[in-house]
Structure 1
Amino acid sequence: MMMALRASLAALLYGGPRPRSGIAGRLAGARVFLPIAGIPLIFGLAIVLLLQVVDPLDLRPWGLPPKFADANYPGLQTVYFMAARTREPHDLVVFGGSTTMAVTPAQLRKVFGAKTPVNLSYPLPSPDDSARILTQLLETPGLRRVILGVDHSQMGNDGAPFLTGVLAMQMFDARWFDMPDFNPRMIEAAIRRASGKPLDTPTWRIEPASYYDAPRLPTQPDLIATLNDAVSHPAPDLFLNPRLPDCRSYRFITRLLVPIGRAARKKGLRIDLMFPPIPFATFYSWQKKPIMMSFWTRGSDYRQLAHFHACIAQVVTEEKLSTIRVHAIDTDAALTGDPLNYRDTVHLTAPAALERLLTDVRDDRFLLTRSNLDDYSQAIETRVRDAGRQRYGKN
C-alpha cells in the first residue's frame, strides 16, 4: 500500500511513465513538477523585480526617489543607505562612530537651527572608509556644516577598514544588479516605499531607541563592578609612557584630515572635529582589555589617544585648514563626570547630555588649538589620575 502511494505521488509530481486512464491517470501524466517548483521561483523573481524597480539603496539610475524617515536608522542600515543619503539635500551632517549614533535630527534642528540634518554615524569607522564617505559628503546638495566625531577607531593605522566601513564603501561602487541587503526587512521597506511611504520598518526603530535615553550606567551592576575593579587594581602599564608616533604617520591625518580639510576650505564648508567625552575611569578598564586597542602600542592607552588628538589640532594649524574647528569635548567635566549621562562606560544617552555635547560644539566651548595643547594634555592627565581615586555606583 505504501509503495503504491509513493509511486502515485512520484507520478503526480514527475509525470507517469505511460498514459493512464481516469482523472488520476491524466494528472499523473501531466508532469506538474515544474509548475509547482516554479511557484517559489516566480515569487523570488517578483521580489527581485520589486527591489530593482523601487531601488531602495539608490544603486541604479532608475527607481523611486529615496524617501527616508526623519529619524536615525540602525548602524548597519545606515551603512547600506550611505550612498543614497549623501545624494539627498542636507544642510548639516553628523558623521562618526558609535559615540555619536544617539544624536537625533530633532536635536540638530533645535541646537543648530538646521533644516535638513541627518546623522550618518555607524560603528567603528576607520580612516580609509571615512575619507571615502567624507569625499562624497562634501558633494551633498545644500551642505553647510559637518560634525565629525573622532572615535578611537580612527587611530587604526593598518589600512584595513572594519566590516561596516567595507560595506559603506561598497555602496558607492555598487553595480546596477547588486542587491547587498536582500532580506525580509528591506523587502518590507521597499513595499512601503512603493506605496509612497518612507523606507522604514518597526524593526529598524528598535536599535536607535536603545541608544537614546536608555537605562543609565549606575543601573547596571556588572559594568559598575568591572569599573570599580579596574580603578581599584589598575593595569601596571596604565601610566607607562608609550612610544608616540610622528603626527604625519597617522592615516587619519594623511588620508582624511589634510585632503578633506583642503577640499572643505575650497568650498567654504565648516567641519567640526569632535573628540567624544569618555568617562576617565573608562581608561582604566580599557587598559585591562588590550584586545579592544589592538592597534595601539605598549604603554598608556589614554596618553596615546591624547597624543593622537593633539596631532590633529597641530596639523590643522600647520596646514592652515581654516574651515576646521577641533573640539576637545573629552575635557567637558559636565559630561564625563556624571555616570547618569551614559548608558554604559562609553556612550552618552541622556537627552540633556547629548544636547550639551552639541552646544559645546555650537558655542566653541572647548576649542583645541596649537596654543593650548599643553593645557589639554595636562587636563587629561590630571583627570585620569583623579578618576582612580573614585568609586562608582555608590551613594
Structure 2
Amino acid sequence: MQKGYDFMSFNISEVADYLGIEKLQDTGGDSIPICCPYCGDRRGKNTICIRKDGKEKNVFQCFSCGRHGNMLDLYLDQKAGYVGADRYKRAYADLRDALEKGHRDHTPKKRVEETDRKTEKTKAPVNVLDHTYRSLLRHLTLQTIDRLDLQRRMLTDAEIEAGLFRSVPSDPVGICRILKREGCMLENVPGFYKNAAGNWQLNVWAEGYFCPVLQDGYLVGMQIRLRNPKKQKYIWLSSSGKRAGISSGAPVCFYGDPDAEFVIITEGILKAYVTYCLLSDIGVSVIGVPGVNVLGGLKELLKQHHHKIAYEAYDMDKYMPVACMRDYEAKKCAACIQSGGREAYCPDGSCRYKERKRQMIQEAQDSLQKVIAKAGLIGRSYHWDRDPVSGLWLGNKKGIDDYCSMRRGGMSHAGAGYPGSARAGAL
C-alpha cells in the first residue's frame, strides 16, 4: 500500500464489488474466494483478504496464475489510463470518490463476462493453439532491449531464436487482421478477443516480450515478461472476461526428451527454458511450473512421459537463513524497528518474515513431492550454493538458471552436481 492513504475508508471487498468481480462465496468473513479476473479460475484459487489476525491486509493472491497485490494493484490492473509515478495516488482518489458516491464500474467487459462464460470452458485444440501462436510470432520481431535481457541470462542468439521469443506488438488489432487473412483461428485461443467495434484484438497492454509455453513441441500458451514491471514480472497472454475471449489457465512447459530417466522441475517458464539450454550438453529434460504452488496439469504430464526420477529445483530461498539482519525489505524492516525491533518481533534473533517465506516454499516443496509420488516417480530435491555444515543457502545464486549460468560462463561450480552425476545435490 502507498504511504499516507486513509485505507480505512474502504477495503478490497468494496473494490472488487466496484469492479464487478464475482465473489464465489461471500459469508461476510475476512477472506473471500473470487473468480480470478486475470486467468478466469473459478475453483477459489484467487482469494481477497480484508484482514488477518485483526490487522488490515486488503490483498489478493491467485494460486492458479500467480497474480497478487493490494487493492490498488487490483484496480489499476483492471482499469486503463493510469500511468506515471502518481498513478496510485490518482487511483486512490478516484476509487474513494466513486465508492463514496455509491458508483459501480460499468465497463463492457464486466457485462459480457456472464454471457461469454460458456466459451471460456474449452480452449481450442492443441494443434490450433500451436498454429495460431506460431503464426503470430512469425510476424513479430525481438527488440534489442528484450534480446539483451535474454543474452544477460546467458542464452545464445541461436537459443533465443529456437525459443521463439518476440516482443509484444504495438498494433494489437492490425496483427489480428493479418492472422485472419492467413486463415488462422482466433476463436477460443487465449489472448484474442473482440473489442467494442467487433474487431479481433490481441490482449496486450504493456511493453515486454513473449515467453512461449511449449509441451512436447506444441506451443500451448504464452507468458509476457514485462519490461517495466510494477510487482509482477510475468503475466499470462489471456483474454478471460472479454467478449469472445478465453482464459489462458496456467499450463506447465516441458523441454527435452520425454523418455529421459530424470527430469528437473523448477518454477517459471523462462527459467525452465534457460535451464534446459544451459544444461543441454548433458541432455537434461526440464519442466517449468508457473509458480511453486501452481501445479495444475503436472501430474498428467509426468504420467504421459517415461521419467523415473523427478528433481525438485525450486529457488534456494527454500534454505535461506532466517537470522534477523535487518536486510529483508526496507519498509518491513523499518516498520519492525519502529515497533520495537528485535526484542518485540524477533526475540530469538530470527526474522519472522524470512521464517514465513521459507516455510511457504518448504510447504510448496512438500506439495510438489506429493504430486511426483502420485505420478509414480521417485522424488528428489536438487540444491546448490549451500553451506556444507549448516545446510543453509550461502546467498550467491538463487535460481537454478543463475547457478547453471556459471557453467557457461566458465566459473567453477564446485559444491553441487547435476542430476545424473555422482555429485548431484539430491536429498
> When you count helix as a share of all residues, which structure comes out higher?
1
| Rg (Cα) greater in structure | 1
Calculate the TM-score normalised by the size of structure 1.
Answer: 0.28
> When you count strand as a share of all residues, which structure comes out higher?
2
Calculate the TM-score normalised by the size of structure 2.
Answer: 0.27
The structure whose RCO (Cα within 8 Å, separation 6+) is larger is 1
